[in-house]
Structure formats: structure tokens, C-alpha cells
Amino acid sequence: SQELEQSPQSLIVQEGKNLTINCTSSKTLYGLYWYKQKYGEGLIFLMMLQKGGEEKSHEKITAKLDEKKQQSSLHITASQPSHAGIYLCGADMNRDDKIIFGKGTRLHILP
Amino acid sequence: DTGVSQNPRHKITKRGQNVTFRCDPISEHNRLYWYRQTLGQGPEFLTYFQNEAQLEKSRLLSDRFSAERPKGSFSTLEIQRTEQGDSAMYLCASSLALAGRETQYFGPGTRLLVL
């Protein structure tokens, strides 16, 4: 079973539109990480959230961790072609510093 | 460039051959992680080091896999008697583990194809 569920699996949006990606677990997430991956390349760190209710923003990307620390969302405002790629959420679920990843959300931006 | 580097970036080998990958972490990062990623999946933890000590190995890491970090700097991952199921992207990450939560920074990966 997948401990960390991401939705949607893939997303196609028109350039300039907003979008949201979700990451859900039945367990407490002690550290929640968002990474971006270009096809066939390594992971680029975006943000890390630790506290319930925490929210962080970088440029047009905002990530939130819910109060129960079991769900996170990644929101992109006014999407651009450069936002295309695979977004991966990962979490420390056992307080052992090992990251368990979801399967990723594939984002395509239409010009 | 002071990020995590991995070599080679691509490797094609025949079944039964041995392969070795290298990872150079960010300077002064004391932790180094290896992950494996197959198509359509997120990365899966394989093993990690704190300095030169290998602290944990996943059950995914069969006896054919061995990893070292001899001087607490770069690391190597060797796969002996490769099988077609070993075809994957092998990712390395490093972090500076102090008090509090660490962030892992990933390298570009080594893509392995076993024919």
C-alpha cells in the first residue's frame, strides 16, 4: 500500500491558470518535503514544512501543512511553462530522517 | 557548482556484469543517502551514511548491492551480477544533520539500463 498518496497523478493546465496538488497520509508527517523533478533528472528541493498549520511561499509556489500534519497541498499561482515537471511530496513518517515519497504528480503547462 | 554530483550519468550494461556508481556530496554534509527510482514511481530509500558509518540498509538492498563511504566524503554504490530488474535511476542525496530537521539535496542521478 502507498503510505503517501498524491493527487492528481497528472495535470494539464493552461498557462496562467492556478493549480493545486495534494499529498495525503493516514500517518502523522514529521517533516513534509516538496521536490520538483524534470523528466530523467534529479530532484530539486522546493520547500520543507514541519509544524501543523505551517505555510511557506517561494515565488509563485505556496505549500501548506494541515493542523493534523497528515495532509499537504502545493499551490501554483499563474502557472508558467517553467513550472512543468513532476512534483514529488516526501515525508519522514517514522521520525528516522528517511524520506518516503509519493508517486508524483506530472504537471504539463499548455502555452 | 557545489551541488551533489553523480557519475556516470548513464550506464548501459549486460546482465551479469558488475557496475559501480559514484556520488560526491555537498562539501561538509555529514549524511549521504542512496535512493532508487523506477519509472512512474517516487524514489525509494536504499541506504544511508553518517560520515563513514553505514547506519541503515533497506530490505530492497539485496546481497548483490554494496555501498561504501570510506572517508566520509564521496560514496560508491556497487551492483554485482546485474539483473534486468536493477534497471532504474539511482539517486544520491546529502544533508547536514545537526539538531533539528535536515533537508536532503539530490544529485542528477545515474540511469542504469541492464540488457
CB pairs under 8 A between A and B: 58
Contact B48 A88 (CB under 8 A): no
Q: What angle do CA B101, B106, B109 make, to 5 degrees?
A: 155
How many whole angstroms separate alpha carbon B51 and alpha carbon B61?
20
Which pLDDT score, from 0 to 100, does residue A2 have? 64
Q: Which DSSP state fits A57?
A: E
Q: Report which residue type is found at A53.
A: G
Which pLDDT score, from 0 to 100, does residue B42 have? 95
Which pLDDT score, from 0 to 100, does residue B80 have? 97
Contact A98 B56 (CB under 8 A): yes
Those residues of chain A that have pLDDT short of 50 are 1
Contact B106 A44 (CB under 8 A): yes
Instruction: For residue A48, give the nearest of B4, B89, B101 by CB distance.
Output: B101
Mean pLDDT by 10 residues, chain B (115 residues): 91 98 95 95 95 88 93 94 97 87 92 98
**Distance in Å, alpha carbon of A70 to nearest chain B alpha carbon:** 17
Q: Is A26 exposed, middle or buried (0-12, 13-18, 19+ CB in 10 A)?
A: exposed
Q: Are B81 and B29 in contact (CB under 8 A)?
A: no
Of B40, B11, B19, nearest in space to A6 by CA: B40
Which pLDDT score, from 0 to 100, does residue B59 have? 81
Give the model confidence (pLDDT) of A5-31 as tens digits. 999 999 999 999 999 999 999 888 889
**Using a CB-CB distance cutoff of 8 angstroms, which residues of chain A are in contact with residue B4?**
42
Instruction: For residue B106, give the nearest of A4, A43, A48 by CB distance.
Output: A43
Neighbours of B110 (CB within 10 A): 23
For testing contact with chain B, the best of A32, A48, A98 (most B CBs within 10 A): A98
**Using a CB-CB distance cutoff of 8 angstroms, which residues of chain A are in contact with residue B43?**
43, 88, 90, 99, 101
